[in-house]
Amino acid sequence: MIANHTSTRSASKYDTAPPDTRALIAALGRPAAYPHAAETVRCRETHLSWVFLAGAYAYKVKKPVDLGFVDFTTPARRAAACAEEVRLNRRRCPDIYLGVVEIVARDDTFHIGGPGEVVETAVKMRRLPAAGMLPALLDRSAADTNLMRRIAIQLVQFHATAATGPGIDEWGQSTAIGANWAENFAQTTRVDETVLPAAVVTTVQAFVTRFIGTNGALFERRVAQGRVRDGHGDLHARNICVEGRRIHLFDCLEFSPRYRCADIAAEVAFLAMDLTAHGRADLAHEFVGAYVRASGDRELLTLLDFYVCYRAWTRGKVQALRLAESGLSPVEHATLAAEARRYFHLAWATAGGLQQPLLVVTLGLPASGKTRLARALVQDQTTCCGRARCGS
């Protein structure tokens, strides 16, 4: 069964004795679990979900986790989050988010839909082309300035129609912003110093305290101008896909308006930060410039570094929290640690950790590896492009 906006899930014995997670994942990894053709099934894991790619569709199952900033530990909370994800993402992607589906127990295994006892819910999506995902485009140098301008214009159009006013405005006020930062710092106190050095924490905390303390009037003015919107909330490269002539900004943050509702500068900063973390500060520069030109919001630039720092720290936190998950292979652990370290380093650089800019010039014959070397240097030393407006 598919529900458009609300879950039809009824009470089940699995509410008090949920199915074994490993058994559920294994079952949904079988093509026979789906009511449609699926030659193979692939599972992609994030800090909050398992996404099963089956034939022409993708199914997102929420993890039963409590990370402090999100609590999916009960079936009711997961079902509500699925319904909210569909509702919110249909603002921009109505043909991708197909509804909420039930996962049922039948014949001693689990299936998507059909007869049986409901054990879980999932979001059903039309599957997007892997080659069109922005990270894939970045990896093969297929993302260019024209694409950045197109993304910026689409984002301006989205923000122009996104809700604002009571119930939203308060998330752009300095008290709320300070509370989000305080939570960020509290949730990273136990991160190993090899991933998050104490000097990085000290620099970023000082920058945040100074900026919030001296810019209260700016935050209030932004609220009064209607710059705080119920936006996307999670606009990094992995949540952008190019499909033919269309650009999809999908997978917006559904579990809390506190993190989704923010100054539009925070949303612009998110993608600018992630492009910089991918070694493409040039595209970040173009994206920000295109957004400012299309929106007329030049004041956004005053807030950009502050929100780049915030977004980088949050992404570092998310990756660092995953290091505590059981069952990680040494390779997975090392990859997560490197990603967390890179984002924390970028937050540090943006907060003024790098006192002087670094210029590296590469020379060589065509196809001799200049671009590959330059991008490797940027990814290893994000301080050279720590500020999203850097045009290097």
Whether 392 is in a domain gets the answer: no
- Please indicate, yes or no, whether residues 146 and 234 belong to a single structural domain of this protein: yes
Whether 391 is in a domain gets the answer: no
Whether 358 is in a domain gets the answer: yes
Q: Which residues make Cβ contacts (< 8 Å) with residue 300, sequence separation at least 6?
A: 264, 265, 268, 288, 291, 292
Whether 108 is in a domain gets the answer: yes
How do residues 248-279 score in pLDDT, each as one tens digit? 999 999 998 999 999 999 999 999 999 999 99
- Please indicate, yes or no, whether residues 273 and 366 belong to a single structural domain of this protein: yes
- Please indicate, yes or no, whether residues 105 and 150 belong to a single structural domain of this protein: no
Picking from 159, 157, 170, the residue whose alpha carbon sits closest to that of residue 257 is 170
Q: Which residues make Cβ contacts (< 8 Å) with residue 167, sequence separation at least 6?
A: 257
- Please indicate, yes or no, whether residues 221 and 205 belong to a single structural domain of this protein: yes
Cα–Cα distance measured from residue 31 to residue 40, given in angstroms and rounded to the nearest whole number? 6
- Please indicate, yes or no, whether residues 270 and 187 belong to a single structural domain of this protein: yes
Count up the domains in the chain and report the number.
2
- Please indicate, yes or no, whether residues 216 and 327 belong to a single structural domain of this protein: yes
Burial level of 130, CB count in 10 A (0-12/13-18/19+)?
Answer: exposed
Q: Spell out the per-residue pLDDT of the chain, length 392, in tens.
A: 454 444 444 555 545 455 688 899 999 999 999 999 999 999 999 889 999 999 999 999 999 988 888 899 999 999 999 999 999 999 999 999 999 999 999 988 999 999 999 999 999 999 999 999 999 999 999 999 999 999 999 999 999 999 999 999 999 999 999 999 999 999 999 999 999 999 999 999 999 999 999 999 999 999 999 999 999 999 999 999 999 999 999 999 999 899 999 999 999 999 999 999 999 999 999 999 999 999 999 999 999 999 999 999 999 999 998 888 777 889 999 999 999 999 999 999 999 986 656 677 888 878 777 776 776 566 544 433 344 333 33
Picking from 1, 209, 20, 220, the residue whose alpha carbon sits closest to that of residue 108 is 20
- Please indicate, yes or no, whether residues 115 and 234 belong to a single structural domain of this protein: no
- Please indicate, yes or no, whether residues 227 and 261 belong to a single structural domain of this protein: yes
Calculate the dihedral angle through the C-alpha atoms of 77, 78, 80, 84, rounding to the nearest 10 degrees. Answer: 130
Pull the structure tokens for residue 203.
């620099």
Q: Are 346 and 313 in contact (CB under 8 A)?
A: no
Residue 295's domain comprises 132-385
- Please indicate, yes or no, whether residues 113 and 184 belong to a single structural domain of this protein: no
Q: What is the CATH number of the domain that holds 145?
A: 3.90.1200
Q: Which residues make Cβ contacts (< 8 Å) with residue 334, sequence separation at least 6?
A: none
Cα–Cα distance measured from residue 299 to residue 307, given in angstroms and rounded to the nearest whole number? 13
Distance of CA 104 to the CA centre of its chain: 29
- Location of structure tokens 């033919």: 244
Final residue belonging to a domain, choices 68, 95, 127: 127
Final residue belonging to a domain, choices 112, 127, 142: 127
The answer to pTM > 0.85 is no
- SS3 category, 363: coil
- Location of structure tokens 């093969």: 140
- Please indicate, yes or no, whether residues 92 and 203 belong to a single structural domain of this protein: no
- Please indicate, yes or no, whether residues 114 and 150 belong to a single structural domain of this protein: no
Whether 390 is in a domain gets the answer: no
Final residue belonging to a domain, choices 101, 127, 153: 127
Whether 183 is in a domain gets the answer: yes
- Please indicate, yes or no, whether residues 173 and 85 belong to a single structural domain of this protein: no
